């Protein structure tokens, strides 16, 4: 089975700094894949490469085996890639409903199934659990809620592949539980492939079926949560970075 998404030896260089070094990862439909690593490991940069916001210095991005490396971010959205951002990128002067509506309306330009953007919006508002704040301008919402708006917006494009950058940061414990349940449902019921960047280890270990560990831009380990946790290289990479991890 070809992977939903695979990156092929992706390298990203910023001047002298190698942010990502020959990272090859795979994301399969119907399961949550984790991408973890200390601060500055290159996780967000990987996301940017996958969504087309950052051109890789070398390497390829394949969606179901098709090379999409040169495609623009908006084309990739059409192909079914959606994401959230580590630092909020919500449309702050639109209401939560409008945030989702923009995405749902945009989907009409490639998805000709004749759906009603309004209905889709309402449905997603319910699904993500933000229907009660739908009329507030997102700029006035607390960070955790705004993060959910971003997730809802990503879902409104009806993606096959969902990239979540620090999905649970800013959420309360309760909200994190709900988020985990939601992600499980998305994967099980809608067959989405999810790639998750996360610092909350219990969250990651609880939800991911497969995990990649990135350090200094390299994939230093990969495997099931149990395998990764047992890996000495991973422990070494994390041990030295306790302080920075807390700071994030």
Partner 1 sequence: MPLKFSPRLISALVVALIVAFVVHSNWGTASVSGQTIATFLVVGIALGGIYAISAAGLVVTYATTGIFNFAQAAIGCFLAFCYWQLTVKWGLPTLLSIAITLLIIAPAIGIALDRVIMRRLRDAALVVQLMVTVGLMLTFMGITLTIWTPKSPRSVPHFFEGTKGVHLGDVVATWHRIITVVIALLVAVALRFLLYRTRLGISMRAVVDSRSLAGLTGAKSSVISGASWSLGCMTAGLAGILIAPETGLVVENLALVIVVAAAAAAIAQLKSLPMVFVGGLIIGLSEAFSSVYLNFGTDWNYAPQAIPCVILFVALLFLPQARLETGKVRLTKRTERLTKPWEAALGGGVMIALVGAWANGWIPWFSGTTFGERSAVWLGRGVGFLIFGLIMLSLVPLIGWAGQVSFANFAIAGIGAVLFSHFGGQNGSPIGILFVMMVCAPLGLLIALPALRLKGLYLALATLAFAEFTDKVIVRHPKMIDPSATGVLFKPLDIFGIHISSDAADRKAFVIFLIVMFAILFFMLELMRRSRWARRWIAMSDSPAASATIGINLTTTKMAVFMLSGAMAGFAGCMLGLSQGALRVDSFPMFLGLPLVLLLAVQGVRYPVAAFMGLVGLASFPALSEVMGNPTWLTQVSLIGPGIAAVAMAYRPEGAVFYTGRDLAGLLPWRADAREEKALLDQRTRDQDIGRDDINDLGIDRPFTSEKVAQLDRVLSIADAVDEHPMVPTTGVTA
CB neighbourhood size of 160 (10 A): 17
Binding Mg ion (rule: CB under 5 A), the pick from 21, 44, 99, 176 is 44
Any contact of residue 92 with partner 1 (CB under 8 A)? yes
Q: How many CA atoms lie within 13 A of 51 on its CB side?
A: 22
Give the nearer residue to ligand ATP in terms of CB position, either 190 or 200: 200
Cβ atoms within 10 Å, residue 113: 7
45 binds, among Mg ion, ligand ATP, partner 1, none (CB under 5 to 8 A by kind): ligand ATP
Which residue in the block uniquely carries the two structure tokens 């942010």? 19
Asked if 83 interacts with partner 1 (CB under 8 A), we say yes
Residues binding ligand ATP (CB under 6 A): 14, 17, 19, 37, 39-45, 86, 248
Q: Nearest approach, Cβ of 110 to partner 1 (angstroms)?
A: 7
**Per CB under 8 A, 11 contacts partner 1:** no
Given a contact cutoff of 8 angstroms between Cβ atoms, the answer to whether 157 and 107 are in contact is yes
| Tokens found for residue 155 | 């879902």
Say how many residues make up the chain: 248
Q: Are 1 and 65 in contact (CB under 8 A)?
A: no
- Shortest CB 57 distance to ligand ATP, Å: 12
Q: Which H or E run contains 211? A: strand 210-215
Identify the bridge partners of residue 163 per DSSP, sorted by sequence position: 83, 195
Q: Are 183 and 207 in contact (CB under 8 A)?
A: yes
Q: CB of residue 16 vs ligand ATP: minimum separation in angstroms? A: 10
Q: Name which position in 22, 86, 229, 241 contacts Mg ion (CB under 5 A).
A: 86
Query: Residue 68 has which token pair?
Result: 């999409």
Residue 124 sits in the site that holds partner 1 (CB under 8 A): no
Toward partner 1, which CB reaches closer, 40 or 225? 40
Contact positions toward partner 1, by CB under 8 A? 14-17, 48, 51-54, 72-74, 76-78, 81-83, 85-95, 98-99, 101-103, 105-107, 109-110, 117, 135-140, 146, 150, 153-154, 156-157
């Amino acid at each position: 089975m070809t992977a939903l998404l695979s990156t092929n030896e992706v390298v990203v260089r910023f001047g002298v700094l190698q942010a990502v070094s020959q990272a090859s990862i795979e994301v399969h439909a119907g399961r949550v894949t984790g991408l973890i690593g200390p601060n500055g490991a290159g996780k967000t940069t990987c996301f940017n490469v996958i969504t087309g916001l950052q051109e890789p210095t070398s390497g390829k991005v394949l969606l179901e085996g098709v090379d999409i490396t040169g495609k623009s971010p908006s084309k990739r959205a059409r192909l079914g890639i959606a994401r959230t951002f580590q630092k909020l990128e919500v449309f702050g002067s639109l209401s939560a409903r409008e945030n989702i509506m923009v995405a749902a309306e945009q989907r009409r330009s490639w998805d000709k199934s004749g759906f009603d953007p309004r209905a889709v919006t309402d449905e997603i508002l319910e699904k993500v659990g933000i229907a009660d704040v739908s009329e507030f301008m997102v700029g006035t919402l607390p960070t955790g809620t705004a993060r959910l708006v971003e997730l809802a917006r990503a879902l409104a494009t009806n993606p096959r592949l969902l990239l979540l950058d620090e999905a649970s940061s800013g959420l309360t414990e309760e909200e994190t539980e709900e988020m985990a349940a939601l992600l499980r449902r998305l994967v099980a019921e809608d067959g989405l492939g999810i790639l998750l960047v996360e610092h909350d280890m219990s969250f990651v270990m609880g939800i991911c079926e497969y995990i990649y560990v990135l350090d200094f831009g390299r994939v230093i380990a990969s495997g099931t949560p149990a395998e990764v946790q047992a890996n000495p290289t991973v422990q070494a990479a994390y041990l030295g970075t306790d302080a920075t991890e807390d700071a994030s």
